[in-house]
Structure 1
Amino acid sequence: MKPPWKGGLRAGAVGAAVVSGALALTACGSNGDSGASGSPSPAAATSTGAGGIACGKAATLQASGSTAQQYAMKDWIKNYSKACPDTKINYDGNGSGKGQDDFLAGKTAFAGSDTPLTGDQIDQSKKVCTGGGRAVHLPMVGGPIAVGFHLSGVDRLVLDAPTIAKIFDGRITTWNDPAITQLNKGAKLPSTPIRQFHRSDSSGTTDNFTAYLAAAAPDDWPYDHGKEWTAKGGKAVKGSADLATQVQKTEGAIGYFELPYAVARMIRTVSVDTGAPTPVDANVISASQAIAGAKTVDTGSDVLVKLNYTAKAPGAYPIDVVTYEIVCDKGNKSATWPATKAFLTYMASQKGQQNLTFQGYATLPAAVVNKVRGEIGTLS
């Protein structure tokens, strides 16, 4: 049987390790390699650890932000720390908005974020990045945002963008609504009330999910996309982990979160009718196919990925996220920069990237990853 994150999440889904709150790991010996075309300079890497991973100078790195990349971050930290035990890395998955705030306040070495900084925030970063530097974005991993549901007796549920928009705006309130039954002919849908859950914190997942609704269902989603939830009704929950837990334990529930959180809790996920011949499941293959068609915007060391939420290519899942590491192009914290640069180099390396699909993450286009590897080498 193929893993659920590759073939769509169903009742037999295999769980993954649950990660919530801050991650703080240190260890010793692992496999990996620097693998980046822009490998650290001698000042940035002072030794080579197990598996050929380049280690920076001993340091404790503080980072925070995206919950979307939290499972990946746990794996990166574990493997890097085994090879480079003199470096301790603490990552607090407190949401993209808070991660951006922490970085712009000079509290962290880098931020994880599923949404880019605004122009005003870029200007603000110049106060943190010394030597004429500014914040830049390094896309590090992608993946599907699953729409998870809990409805006894229903193993497969198909929804399209207009119907998802109306559900999350409180305008479809029962599971046997005609708009839902029309998309699920032959299914026995109960009259159970729909219990909608959304994020309460400033969230890049919310930004990407609402960007999908605004693009794919403009007549049914009367809100701008953003990190803050603005639609009507539903219950607000902090963080992807707790939101997924609420869906898992609540009959009639629906919510949005990254695929690894659905996999970990064996939550069934919606198949999205995009207008392609067949509805598309949320899995790493379908998300990778969609992300492969994304456009990139490169400005100096800055690399931004523009997703197409209205793509109708067969097998391409439309609700996706690309998550970034935010650092300074110049003027990074001198005491921790060698370790930070070495860690970023490992994250973007072949070994840093190769096992992420097993955790429910999608593959970024090779051109994007190669660009990131090169740009890391130019940062100072």
Structure 2
Amino acid sequence: MNLKRNGALLGVVAVGAVTAMSLTACGSDNNAASATVDTSASTASCEGKDKLSGAGSSAQKNAMDEFTSAYIAACQQKGKSVNVAYNPSGSGDGRTQFIANQIDFAGSDSAIKGDQAEQAKQRCAGSDAWNLPLVFGPVAIAYNLNGVDNLVLNGETIAKIFNGGITKWNDPAIAALNSGAKLPDEKINPIVRSDSSGTSDNFQQYLQASSNGAWTQGAGSDFKGGVGEGAKGSAGVAQAVATAPNSITYVEKSFADQQKLSVAQIDNGSGPVKLSQDSASKAISNATFKGAGTGDLTLDLQSIYGTKEPGAYPLVLATYEIVCSKGYDAATSAAVKSFLTSAANEGQQSLAAQGYVPLPESFRAKINESIAAIA
């Protein structure tokens, strides 16, 4: 996705900036970092062990490549050789490997909780595992509808499309949001994920929060709406919509861009909002946390998905880094803190070019506080 970068990330790269290098990480298929990152002011200590390992969310795979390249470059300037191997094996597998002490950190589209959080305590020497939301990516409502370039939907109409409550493009509920648009009298063809997916889980949580009760199917990694044609993976649903007139799907914006799909505006109750870096960042800036907001930073997703803030695009996928708050050996603790410090700061500089939303400044400050508190 080629969203415009936040102005704070633009400008001439300072002396000492280095071009982020490529890294071959375990399980990854394309690890070339794509942007020039200024690491001259990095606060990463580069202390601890030289090699870290992680696994989990494929949604954050490209972000992890950028983080790793920036970290390597920052530590090279300090005379230290480091490496991070990240396997995008899926959120569930990442949490399982973390609990089993097979990796140093996990990437996950959902916070670790319940029985898994209790199991993680054993791995963390009796201490809690923390969820640190470090990567955000907007999810598009992408569609293929001839003659309609600026479709507007809201949570209720999206829910009814994906649970069969609305079946025609010229349904009065859609027409009311699109005055003057030539909506065809055609059957809507929803395309949904056939595989288990964090995108499906977050999409359905959004529908629960925003549809005024129209979505009663619940959430989870499997799509529960009961309608639509299935396609595997983000690339699969995007390609299916590109070749199927009158179709619609939910997919990460970068995949919609790759297929040149139209993307709906979402009316969160304060008027239609186009998907952009700024509108997604606005929703993230207003996010709140389930706990006290120190240490563990599990998000209260209602604060994002249910936002009424004018100009905020609410459908944003958050992915976490899961780490031990305490319980690492000293070398691992130092390296985890150093890597995450780099990721939360200079690592954010190149994310917009990869289709993610860099952390807003106020949010990034809280992430840095939690990273510093890892013992």
What TM-score do you get using the length of structure 2 for normalisation? 0.80
Which deviations, in whole Å up to 9, do the C-alpha atoms of 1:126-154 show, x marking residues without a partner?
2322x323311112132422111122332
CA positional deviation for 1:339 = 3.9
Cα 1:30–1:311 shift into 2, 3 Å: closer
Asked if 1:63 is matched to 2:25, the reply is no
Paired with 2:151 and 2:320, the residues of 1 have a C-alpha distance of: 31
Partner amino acid, structure 2, of 1:331 = G
Specify which of 123, 128, 146 is matched with residue 140 of structure 2: 146
Of stretches 162-171 and 296-305 in structure 1, the one that deviates more from structure 2 is: 296-305
Give the 3-state SS of the residue equivalent to 2:136 in structure 1: strand
Cα 1:136–1:34 shift into 2, 3 Å: farther
Give the 3-state SS of the residue equivalent to 1:111 in structure 2: strand
Counterpart in the other structure of 1:98 = 93
CA positional deviation for 1:269 = 0.8
Aligned residue runs from structure 1 range 267-286, under 5 A: 267-276=261-270, 278-286=271-279
Contact 1:198 1:236 in 2 (8 A): yes
CA positional deviation for 1:162 = 1.3
Paired with 1:286 and 1:300, the residues of 2 have a C-alpha distance of: 26
Paired with 2:4 and 2:235, the residues of 1 have a C-alpha distance of: 17
Counterpart in the other structure of 2:284 = 291
Contact 2:67 2:348 in 1 (8 A): no
Cα 1:192–1:87 shift into 2, 3 Å: farther
Paired with 1:113 and 1:195, the residues of 2 have a C-alpha distance of: 30
Partner amino acid, structure 2, of 1:100 = R
Contact 1:64 1:108 in 2 (8 A): no
Counterpart in the other structure of 1:18 = none
Which deviations, in whole Å up to 9, do the C-alpha atoms of 1:47-100 show, x marking residues without a partner?
xxxxxxxxx533252322141x23322322233344558444333334433332
Counterpart in the other structure of 1:367 = 362
Question: C-alpha root-mean-square deviation of aligned residues, in Å?
Answer: 3.0
Counterpart in the other structure of 2:313 = 317
Contact 2:32 2:65 in 1 (8 A): no
Partner amino acid, structure 2, of 1:110 = F
Paired with 1:333 and 1:192, the residues of 2 have a C-alpha distance of: 61
Specify which of 71, 81, 84 is matched with residue 80 of structure 1: 71
Cα 1:34–1:6 shift into 2, 3 Å: closer
Asked if 1:108 is matched to 2:118, the reply is no
Contact 2:333 2:374 in 1 (8 A): no
Of stretches 322-331 and 226-235 in structure 1, the one that deviates more from structure 2 is: 226-235
Contact 2:3 2:353 in 1 (8 A): no
Of stretches 77-86 and 138-147 in structure 1, the one that deviates more from structure 2 is: 77-86
Specify which of 11, 32, 37 is matched with residue 39 of structure 2: 32
Cα 1:374–1:219 shift into 2, 3 Å: closer
Give the 3-state SS of the residue equivalent to 1:127 in structure 2: helix
Counterpart in the other structure of 2:19 = none
Cα 1:73–1:152 shift into 2, 3 Å: farther
The alignment covers a number of residue pairs equal to: 345
Counterpart in the other structure of 1:11 = none
Partner amino acid, structure 1, of 2:39 = G
Contact 1:133 1:331 in 2 (8 A): yes
CA positional deviation for 1:169 = 0.8
Paired with 1:23 and 1:329, the residues of 2 have a C-alpha distance of: 31
Paired with 1:171 and 1:6, the residues of 2 have a C-alpha distance of: 38
Which deviations, in whole Å up to 9, do the C-alpha atoms of 1:328-352 show, x marking residues without a partner?
1122377755543332121012x22
Aligned residue runs from structure 1 range 1-380, under 5 A: 22-23=28-29, 25=31, 31-32=38-39, 35-36=42-43, 40=45, 45-46=46-47, 56-59=48-51, 61-67=53-59, 69-83=60-74, 86-129=81-124, 131-276=125-270, 278-296=271-289, 297-298=291-292, 301-307=295-301, 308=303, 309-332=305-328, 338-349=334-345, 351-380=346-375
Partner amino acid, structure 2, of 1:128 = R
Partner amino acid, structure 1, of 2:287 = A
Partner amino acid, structure 2, of 1:32 = T
Contact 1:65 1:100 in 2 (8 A): no
Cα 1:300–1:185 shift into 2, 3 Å: closer
Which deviations, in whole Å up to 9, do the C-alpha atoms of 1:295-335 show, x marking residues without a partner?
13336521122232232222111222322111111223777
Partner amino acid, structure 2, of 1:168 = F
Of stretches 84-93 and 111-120 in structure 1, the one that deviates more from structure 2 is: 84-93
Identity %: 41
Partner amino acid, structure 1, of 2:246 = G
Paired with 2:236 and 2:86, the residues of 1 have a C-alpha distance of: 18
Contact 1:158 1:184 in 2 (8 A): yes
Contact 2:277 2:352 in 1 (8 A): yes
Cα 1:175–1:91 shift into 2, 3 Å: farther
Paired with 2:150 and 2:212, the residues of 1 have a C-alpha distance of: 26
Cα 1:328–1:201 shift into 2, 3 Å: farther
Paired with 1:62 and 1:144, the residues of 2 have a C-alpha distance of: 23
Give the 3-state SS of the residue equivalent to 2:371 in structure 1: helix
CA positional deviation for 1:4 = 5.1
Give the 3-state SS of the residue equivalent to 2:308 in structure 1: coil
What TM-score do you get using the length of structure 1 for normalisation? 0.79
Paired with 1:87 and 1:248, the residues of 2 have a C-alpha distance of: 42
Paired with 1:338 and 1:293, the residues of 2 have a C-alpha distance of: 31
